[in-house]
Each structure stands twice: as C-alpha cells, then as structure tokens.
Structure 1
Amino acid sequence: MKYQVGDDIIVLHSNEEGKVIELINDKMVMIEVRGVKFPAYMDQIDFPYFYRFTKKKQEPEKKVAPKQYIDQVPKEKPKPNQIQVADGVWLSFIPKFALDDFNDEVVELLKVHLVNKTPDTYQFTYKQFFLHDLDFELVNQVQGFHDFYLHDIDFEKVNDSPSFSVDFSLLQPKKGKAAHYEAQLKLKPKQIFQKIEALKENNEPTFSYQLFKEYPEKDSSEDYVDLSKLSNKGYKIYDASKVRQHLPPARSVIDLHIEKLTDTYDHLSNIEIIGIQLAEFEKWFDLAIAHRQPSLIVIHGVGKGRLREEIHDILKTKREVKHFINQYDPRFGYGATEVFFQY
C-alpha cells in the first residue's frame, strides 16, 4: 500500500494539502483537507514533498503600479527567434489542449506557424487543403529569424488529411537563387496523432516539419538561351505560342492495367508494376494539361486499391486538378477515376 494513515498528501487537482485518515481499499483512501473529510482515488493524490520543494517562496507585496491607459501601451512587435542559427524554414504546429466532460485532456485545435530560421525575408503564398478542397489561403511576408502565425485548424478536421502548400520567393532577389520555390506537406491523421502522443510524453510544446533547409539555387533551365544560334546550326525551332501543335496527341481515357502497358510483366514485383503504372499515368496526365483538356479518365481497376490510392494521393497535390471522383460507371464499374482540370 502506497499510503498509510497519517501520511501527508496533496490533492493534485487543487494543490491543497491534507492527511490520510482511513484506508478504504487498494484504490481509495479517506482524506481530510482543511477539516473536510472525503474519499479520493490514489491517482488523484500524491505526497506533497516535490510540490513544497518546487513551490516558489512568496514574494513581498509590491507597490501597485500607476494606472496605464491603452494609448500609453507600446505596440507589440514580432519577436525574432532567440537563437539565430540558420536551419531552414519550418511549418510548426502547437496543439491547444482542454479538458472534456470526463476531465480528460483533449486537443481542441492546432495553431499553425511558419518558422523562418534563416537570415532572409521571404514573400510567401500559403494554402491549406482538406482532401482536395482549399480551406485557407494567405499571402504575406516572414522576416529572417522570425515566426509567423498563420491560422488555427479545428482538430476534428484532422481526419480529412490536411495538406499544405507554401510558395516562397526572396523579398530581395539574389543572384544565382531561384525566382520562387514551392514546398508541399501532406499529413495523415495517424501521423498527427502519433506526433501529439510523442509531444506529450516528451513534454514538448510543438511538432514541426522542415519545408526546406536552404533556399534553392536557380535552375540552369531558367537561363536565357539565344535560339537564333541554334536555328543557324540547323536545329528546328518552334514558336512557343504553337507548342501544342508539336506535342504528342493526348488521350481522354487511359488504361493502366499492366497487361496493357507491357507484354513481359510475369517476372516483375508488385513495386515494379506500380512504378510502371504510375510513370504511365504521369505521362498522360502531363500531356492532358499541356493540351488543356477539361478532364481525364484513369482506369486503375479495383483489386486491393493500392494503385487507386497512389493516384489519388498524387492528384491531391496537383494545383491543376479542380476535383476528381471515383464512382460507379457502367463502362468501368468502380475501377476508374475521372479527373477535372482548372486552368
């Protein structure tokens, strides 16, 4: 038995001290606090010594400061990170906890911050989606070594697999650096729940994901090329306004069954088959966009649903996708997804 009659105890909920006056059973004791006797479960009380040791000494009463009016209060300025060590840009989540009707600790919402641990100031466009629907958008700037509060997410909506897209550009362009950089993050509900459990066990305030470590260099393809020199050497140069005339023809329906893609697939593993199917999907998806098709039907079959899930995950990250549906079709049953584009 952890406690004996006469032991000093502290009530964890109220930090009031008392004594054990009776042992009821192996889970409950009768305690007395300030002359009031009542039963308590053993996990609701503890020995008071740690509380006494950590309790701050009562400070002498301070003089009352003169009244200060609102127009005298200086405006609060954004606070820079205290430790200025370059470590990229992060998306950080702060869970806000509350107690439910059963006095259990639950998460009400997630506060989302953009954390800039670099000396550069960035212009950014932030978008947050649930499934494939845009839920929140913000355009602003984040200064070097500063945190920027974005918005709150109701925790009950975490089940809708939130995803995030942030397009960055340097406020002061630098030679050799990219004109912009888009970072994307997709979270599954299970990931978030695991992060919060680890956060509580380690007594940490936030969990974060790095969007990039260093702002990327300029892609060499962005450099200007004098096409007249290539034309003089006999290369065929196309007018960019007529580029679609020179693209391979697109398809409105693509069939990703492996037997439609290759004759030699018996020796392939499941991972190799999925890789071939996804590469074929990406090719026709890009051509559909290049030809500005209004829609595309992707036949993936039913099976165990692995290929369908992979394709749906890809579609959720594509900005050209307005929406997509996987419903019964008399031609394909449930084995096809129709994609609708936006330009």
Structure 2
Amino acid sequence: MKIGDKVRMLHGNEEGTIRKVSGSRVEIEIEDGFLIPAMKNELVVIHSSEKTFFEESTKTVPENNEESNQDSDQAPLIAMIPQNDQEMILHLVNPSLGSFLVHVEAEKEGLVKTLFANQLPKKQWAQLDRFKLKDLSSWPILNVLILPIHESFENKGPIISSTLKFKAKVFSKSTVEIPLLKQKGYLFEIFREEKELDIHSLNAELNEWNPTATQQVKPPSSRVDLHIEELVEKPDELSNSEMLRIQLETFEQNLNQAISSGLDEITFVHGIGNGVLRKEIHKRLSEIKNIKYFKDTQKDRWGYGATLVRIS
C-alpha cells in the first residue's frame, strides 16, 4: 500500500484515500475530509476496475425503456445544508437516473477556484465547500457547467451553463429535504431561473432552527469530556469515522452553547490517542473569530490531552 491508494475497511463501510504511511499503520482521508487511522491488515485496496465490473454485472435493461425516460429532464442540483448556526455546507446532488460531467468553480474578486471537476454518476452526491453565514455578503459566485453522459445512442441532452449568486435574495424561504442526503437544507435547481432570497426570512428560520438565538441559553459544563465512552453506551459498535463525527458534534454543540451563554472559558478533554480529534478541534477553533485563544492544558491530569478555550 502507498500514498494515494483507494482503500476500503474490511470491517466497516468506510472508503478513502491513503494520505500517510507509517510502518504497519496508515492515515485515510474519508469522504467528509476527516483523517482516520487504521492498520494495513484492516484494509483492502480498491482496484480501479472494480466499480466498472460490478456496475456492468448488475445492470439490467428496463422493460419498455421506462427507467431510461424517467427523470430525463432532471440535472444535478446545488444544495446548502446548515451545519450549525454559523456555517453552511455546499453540496452537489444528482438525483436523476443519468450521469453527468460537471465542472463547478467559485469566483471571487476576479479569481477562481475549482470546487468540482469530475463525473457525477446517477443517484450520487459530492460535498464541495463550507461557507460562514456571517460572510454571506461576500460568498463567491458559482459557475456551473453540466454535460450529460450518453451511454448509448439517444436524444442529445442540453449542455447547461449557469451562474449562481448567493446574495440577499437567493435562498428559498424555507428548508426542504435534500434528495439522497435526507437532510433539511436550501435547494437550487441549476438550470432554472434563480429565485431571490429574503435574507430576513433566512435569518428568522435559522434562529428558529437554533434555539440559542431566541431564548436564554444555559451554559455548559466548564469541562467537557469527549472520550467516546462518555458519549455513547456501546462505542465498540461504532466505526472510527462514526466515533469522530459524534465527538466533533459534541464539541461544536458545547462550544456554541458556551459562546451563546457568555461563558469565559471551557476545557475539552479529547485524550492523546493518535491526535486526529485534537487536530480537528484546533483547526475549527482557529476559524472562529470570537475565540481569544486556545492551548493544550493540564498536563498532570490529562497528559496534554485537553484543550483550554478562552472566549472573547
């Protein structure tokens, strides 16, 4: 195994790309961008032809060609899903029965950044980027180019070129369930006329979604233990990525509660371990403006397995 190999867990559903190799251990970057540790003997390399082989071997021809015509007018969608009261995650979703070549780039002040340039198969989605809600007025423009993939001779589909501007009146007035993701968010059909958003409606809905904005918030404990044994009853039944997700959700929930309630400082006990949780916590803390500082703390008790956060 080497850096860049696509691998799958033998005892779980996770797939990802090897980013670091150290003896018999590796670090894998999974779909959400998290790095998780694993032993080499727990992994299997995914051959490049595996997906094609299984798709071809399980493909069936629909009777009367009904399936090939279903959802023929659909195209990939852009979705914004609230992560918390401060951040939204941008997704590209293809709920149709056709595959597409998609290029998405963010444009800001004359500069561009490619967010996605690849094939998007049917019934698949991809996470593109994260945006801070407080920076809504300076969000980049999205330039989207979509080309349908024709696997046989059929009517030529349209090439879609569209621009999305996330300004004061771009989002819908209420959230909807995003296809495939099964989460509430804001949905944009790329090839249709853009709807303008009432920013006041967006803020009102986010306030309703986040009770801390409308009522007195009770401060959390000044010490939050993120060891997975303290958070769930049966940690042995969880995969590494599921554990990390639960720990980070608990961290963000308590941090938001601490900020909203006016708490001066809070300590997160994450342990030493392989350092993945500590690294992700420090990364997120560095992106929040109303954090005065944070540091490793209390070596005698937790062996520098804790982080003190000072809130401004």
Q: TM-score, normalised by structure 2?
A: 0.37
- Asked which structure has the greater CA Rg, the reply is 1
